[in-house]
Structure 1
Amino acid sequence: MSENVSTNPALAAQQNDSSFDNVWQELKWRGLVHVSTDENELEKALAGDSLTYYCGFDPTAASLHLGHLVQLLTMRRLQLAGHKPLALVGGSTGLIGDPRASGERVLNTPEIVAGWVQSLQDQIKHYISFDGENGARMVNNLDWTQGISAIEFLRDIGKYFRVGTMIKKELVAKRLNSEEGISYTEFSYQILQGYDYLQLFREYNCTLQFGGSDQWGNITSGTELVRRVEGKTVHALGTPLITNSDGTKFGKSEGNAIWLDAELCSPYTFYQFWLNQSDADVLERLKVFTFRSREEIKELERSVKEEPFKREAQRTLAWDVTSLVHGEEATRKVIAAAEALFGKGNIADIDEATLQSVAAEVKSAELTAENATAINALVATDLVSSKAEARRAVEQGGASINNTKVDDGEALIDESAWLHGKYLLVRRGKKNLAVITRG
C-alpha cells in the first residue's frame, strides 16, 4: 500500500458552513440524507466528540466517477466537522462484486483488482486529508479476509445472518425474481460488507458507515452484525442517488460515465459537463458538489432567476468542481480553450489533448491534406448537406477554418493551418462547430 499522503492543495481552503448548528443540519440542507438509522441519535453523535466513520469503494474499474465524488465530498464534510475518516477500498469485495439489478457481474482477475485498488487509493487521497489529529486512514478489506478459511467464515460470521432477512434486501429480491436469478457468490456479498463494519468497529471504534442509498441493504447488514456480535448500536447513513430534474440518471454524458481520471474523461469534457447543467438542476449540484455556503448559493439562485443568460451559477459550478478534481491550472486552460474555440483567444494555444476532446464532442470527420478544402470539410462534417450549400456558405461569409473566414472554398488548406499537425476547426455561422482530423 502506498503512503497515506494528501495531494490536493484545495483541501486547505475548504470549510463547512458555520451558519448551520452542526454538520448533520448542513448535510440535510445539501440534500445528502436519504435514509439513516436513528436520526436524533446520529445528529447527537455528529454534534459531539470526534467519531470514526467509513465509506467503502469497490475496485470495479480503474477510476472513480461522479457517484463516488458524492461520497468523497461527504467524507470531507464530516472530516471538517472534526470526525475521522476510514477510506476502505475493497480488495476482497472487489473480487466478488455486489449484486446489480441488471445481472451477474463479470469477475476480474486478482491481478486486475489489485491494480484497481492502487488506482482508487491514489485518487481518494486527492479528496480527504491524511494529516492532523483526525487525518484519514486507508484500509483494505483484503487484509482481514484473505486469511480466513471458509469454515471459519461460516462458523464465526455466517451464523449471525438470517437467510429470510438477506433475501428481503431490495436488489437481492429483484434478482431472485429475475430470469437469471442470483449466484451464491453475489448473494454472500452483504455478509462480507457486514464483516467490514464489524472489523472496523473492533479495530478503530468506527461507529458510522455511509454510502449510496442503493447500498442500504449491505450497509445495514453491518449495523445488525455489530449489534448481534458486540451488543452495540452503531450508525448508518444512505445518501440519495443523484438524478436530473427530469428523473434521468445523473453523471452520464452520451451514455458514458463521467470519470474522475483525466485519461478517461478530459478536463475539457469534464468542465463542459458541469457548464451544461440546466437551470433546474444547477442549484442542487452546487449544494452537493461544492463547498459554497448557503448565502453564496442563495445569491446564485437569484442570478438563475433574474439573469439566467449569464449562466453565473453554471460557471461557478464548473469552476469549483473542475478545479477540485483537475486543479486550477488545468481549469484555466480549458476555459481559455473554450473561449478560443469561439474567437476570443488564440486558437493555436489550445493543447492537443483538448482538441482531441473537442473532436470527440462535436461533429468530426477525417480528410487527407490532399482533399482538405473548406468545401470538403463542411460537407464531410455534415455542417452542410451538399457542396452547393457549402459554396453558398463561403460566398455569404458564413464559413471559417480555425476562426478565419474562408474566401476560397476550393483552395487546399495550407499546411501551416493544421493545429498540432492534425486538426482543423471548421465552423458554419457562429455556433456550428466541427473538427477535421488529418487522415
Structure 2
Amino acid sequence: MESVSNAIDLNSQHNDPAFANIWQELQWRGLVHVSTDESALEKSLSEEKVTYYCGFDPTAASLHLGHLVQLLLMRRLQLAGHHPIGLVGGSTGLIGDPRQSSERILNSKETVAQWVDLLRGQVERFLSFEGENRAVMVNNLDWTSQLSAIDFLRDIGKHFRVGTMIKKEIVAKRLNSDEGISYTEFSYQILQGLDYLNLYREHGCTLQTGGSDQWGNLTSGTELIRKVEGTAVHAIGTPLITNSDGTKFGKSEGNAVWLDPELTSPYAFYQFWLNTADADVVDRLKVFTFKSRTEIEELARRTAEEPYKREAQKVLAWEVNSLVHGVEATEKAIAASAAVFGRGELGQLDAGTLESVARELPGASVEPGRLQVADLLVATGLSESKSAARRTLKEGGAYVNNEKVVGEDAELAPDQLLHGRWALLRRGKKHLAAVTVRP
C-alpha cells in the first residue's frame, strides 16, 4: 500500500463541529451498536484524553472493509484528541477468534509473522504518529510469548468462569453445532481479555473498540480488569454493516473487498462504492467518510430529488478510494471507468489499470493470431452463438475499444490491442467484456 503522504492527508480530516462532542458524532454516524455505560463513556470522551485500542488479527494477508470501519473510528477518536493504540495480534492470530461456521485452519508461525508486518503497515496509514496524542503500535506476541502455561492459568484463567464463557453468543452457537468448538478457539476470549489488561497496565488504556460480533471478546477484557484491578473500563461495539436488502456488506459470492490493491484493485474498489444502492449511500457516507453532517444531508437531498445523477455515490467512491488508495490511484480509476463506457480514451490508460479493468469484466484469454470478432463475442459470452455474433456485427451493434466494428468477418488487428495485450469488446451500450491475448 502507499505511504501516508501519498495516500491520506491526516491533517485534512477533522471532527464535525456540528456536534458537542465526539460521542454524539459517533452516535449520529451510526457507529455505536452496543457499549458499556453510555453516560460514563460520553463524559470520559468529553472531559478526558482517553487511551483506546483496537486489535487486528493476521488471519489473512490484508485487512478488508469490515476492518476499515474500525480504522476510521480510531482516526475519528484521535482527531478528537484521544490516544490510539493499534494492536496486531501476533499471538491471537496464531489461533483466530471463533467463526460462525467452523474451526479455523491454523496458519504457520512464519506466515502469521509475515501477515503481522503487512497488517501493521495498513493500520499505521490511518493513524498519526506525531503530536501529543501520537499513536502507538503493539504486538500481543510480545507479552504472551513470555507467559508460561502455568502462569497463564494461575494469573489469568482463574478469573474466568466457564459458565459465563459458554454463554458468549458465538461460543454458544458453535457448541450447539455439529462440529463444536476446540479448546484452542474457546480460549481466544481469555487471550483478548489479557490484551486489554496488559494495555491498561502499561499504557493506561480504558477503551476498546471492535465489531459488535466481537462483543463477547470485548467484555472479557472489561470484566477481567474489573476483577483484577477493581476498575471500570469501557468498550464500544460497532454495528455489522449490512445492505438495505439484508445482505452482508462487502461480500459478493464469498469474496471479501480487501484494502490491499494487489487483492482488490483501486479500479474494482472504486466500482464497488460507485455501485452503492441509493438506500445505502447516506449511511455509507456517515461511516466511511469525513464529510460533515451538513454535507451529507445535502447529498441525501440531492439523491432523493435527482437519484439518476448519483452524486452521493460519486462522492462516496472518491472519498473512500482516496482514503485507502490515494488521490492518484483514484483519478486513474475514474479515468478507466469513463473510458470503459466510451467517455474517455482507453489507449491513455496505463497497463496496470487496463489489467485491473480486464480482471473485473467477463472475458476470455486467447492465443495470438487471426482473431475474428465474431469468435471473440462468443468466447467472452457477449453472444450465445456464432450466428448471433454475426447478426450483431451486421446490425452494427459490436464495438472494439469503443470503435464500431464493420463487417461480419471483421478481425481484431494486432494494432488494436492495448499495450499489445488487451481489447475491450462491447455489444450494444452496456454489455462489456475483455479479451486478453496471451504472450
Q: TM-score range by the shorter chain?
A: over 0.9
CA distance in 1, matches of 2:21, 2:6: 28
Corresponding residue number in structure 2 for 1:109: 108
Local SS of the residue matching 1:157? helix
CA distance in 2, matches of 1:390, 1:197: 63
TM-score scaled by structure 1? 0.97
Corresponding residue number in structure 2 for 1:288: 287
Corresponding residue number in structure 1 for 2:80: 81
- Deviations, residues 143-177 of structure 1 (Å, cap 9, x unaligned): 11101110111111111111111111111111111
CA distance in 2, matches of 1:318, 1:311: 11
Corresponding residue number in structure 2 for 1:315: 314
CA distance in 2, matches of 1:272, 1:160: 48
Local SS of the residue matching 2:152? helix
CA contact (8 A) 1:23 1:78 kept: yes
- Deviations, residues 212-244 of structure 1 (Å, cap 9, x unaligned): 001100110100010100111101110000000
Q: Is residue 2:17 matched to residue 1:10?
A: no
Local SS of the residue matching 2:74? helix
Residue 99 of structure 1 aligns to which amino acid in structure 2? P
Corresponding residue number in structure 1 for 2:429: 430
Corresponding residue number in structure 2 for 1:207: 206
Corresponding residue number in structure 2 for 1:50: 49
CA distance in 1, matches of 2:405, 2:246: 44
Q: 1:408 Cα shift? A: 2.5
CA contact (8 A) 1:362 1:433 kept: yes
Q: 1:355 Cα shift? A: 2.3
Local SS of the residue matching 2:236? strand
Unaligned runs of 5+ in 2: none
CA contact (8 A) 1:301 1:313 kept: yes
Q: 1:6 Cα shift? A: 7.8
Q: 1:8 Cα shift? A: 4.3
CA distance in 1, matches of 2:4, 2:304: 42
Corresponding residue number in structure 1 for 2:407: 408
Residue 136 of structure 1 aligns to which amino acid in structure 2? A
Q: Is residue 2:297 matched to residue 1:298?
A: yes
CA contact (8 A) 1:290 1:320 kept: yes
- Deviations, residues 280-322 of structure 1 (Å, cap 9, x unaligned): 0000000000000110011101111110000000000000000
Cα RMSD over matched residues? 1.4
CA contact (8 A) 2:361 2:434 kept: yes
Local SS of the residue matching 1:271? helix
Of 29-38 and 177-186, deviating more is 177-186
CA contact (8 A) 1:6 1:129 kept: no
CA distance in 2, matches of 1:9, 1:95: 31
Name the CA shift for 1:18/1:308 in 2 (closer, same or farther; >3 Å): same
CA distance in 1, matches of 2:323, 2:100: 32
CA distance in 1, matches of 2:216, 2:406: 65
Of 240-249 and 367-376, deviating more is 367-376
CA distance in 2, matches of 1:134, 1:39: 23
Residue 142 of structure 1 aligns to which amino acid in structure 2? L
Corresponding residue number in structure 2 for 1:388: 387
Name the CA shift for 1:361/1:6 in 2 (closer, same or farther; >3 Å): closer
Residue 170 of structure 1 aligns to which amino acid in structure 2? E
1:360-375 to structure 2, matched below 5 A, reads 360-375=359-374
1:79-228 to structure 2, matched below 5 A, reads 79-228=78-227
Name the CA shift for 1:179/1:255 in 2 (closer, same or farther; >3 Å): closer
Name the CA shift for 1:74/1:263 in 2 (closer, same or farther; >3 Å): same
CA contact (8 A) 1:5 1:131 kept: no
1:270-289 to structure 2, matched below 5 A, reads 270-289=269-288
Local SS of the residue matching 1:370? coil
Q: Is residue 2:254 matched to residue 1:255?
A: yes
- Deviations, residues 299-354 of structure 1 (Å, cap 9, x unaligned): 10111111000000000000000011000011001101111112222111122232
Of 339-348 and 190-199, deviating more is 339-348
CA contact (8 A) 1:52 1:207 kept: yes
CA distance in 2, matches of 1:67, 1:400: 39
Q: 1:5 Cα shift? A: 8.2
Identity of aligned residues (%): 67
Corresponding residue number in structure 1 for 2:60: 61
Q: 1:12 Cα shift? A: 1.3
CA distance in 1, matches of 2:65, 2:117: 19
CA distance in 1, matches of 2:7, 2:130: 12
Local SS of the residue matching 2:195? helix
CA contact (8 A) 1:253 1:273 kept: no
Residue 315 of structure 2 aligns to which amino acid in structure 1? T
CA contact (8 A) 2:6 2:326 kept: no
CA distance in 1, matches of 2:60, 2:418: 34
Of 34-43 and 372-381, deviating more is 372-381
CA contact (8 A) 2:336 2:357 kept: no
Local SS of the residue matching 2:263? coil
Q: 1:407 Cα shift? A: 1.1
CA distance in 1, matches of 2:4, 2:379: 50
- Deviations, residues 163-218 of structure 1 (Å, cap 9, x unaligned): 11111111111111111111111111111100111100001110001100011001
CA contact (8 A) 2:56 2:87 kept: yes
Residue 294 of structure 1 aligns to which amino acid in structure 2? R
Of 256-265 and 170-179, deviating more is 170-179
Name the CA shift for 1:272/1:247 in 2 (closer, same or farther; >3 Å): same
Residue 12 of structure 2 aligns to which amino acid in structure 1? A
CA contact (8 A) 1:7 1:126 kept: no
CA contact (8 A) 1:271 1:319 kept: yes
Unaligned runs of 5+ in 1: none
TM-score scaled by structure 2? 0.97
CA distance in 2, matches of 1:254, 1:174: 24
CA distance in 1, matches of 2:308, 2:411: 39
Local SS of the residue matching 1:369? coil
Q: Is residue 2:211 matched to residue 1:230?
A: no
Q: 1:253 Cα shift? A: 3.0
Of 65-74 and 395-404, deviating more is 395-404
Q: 1:393 Cα shift? A: 1.7
Residue 289 of structure 2 aligns to which amino acid in structure 1? T
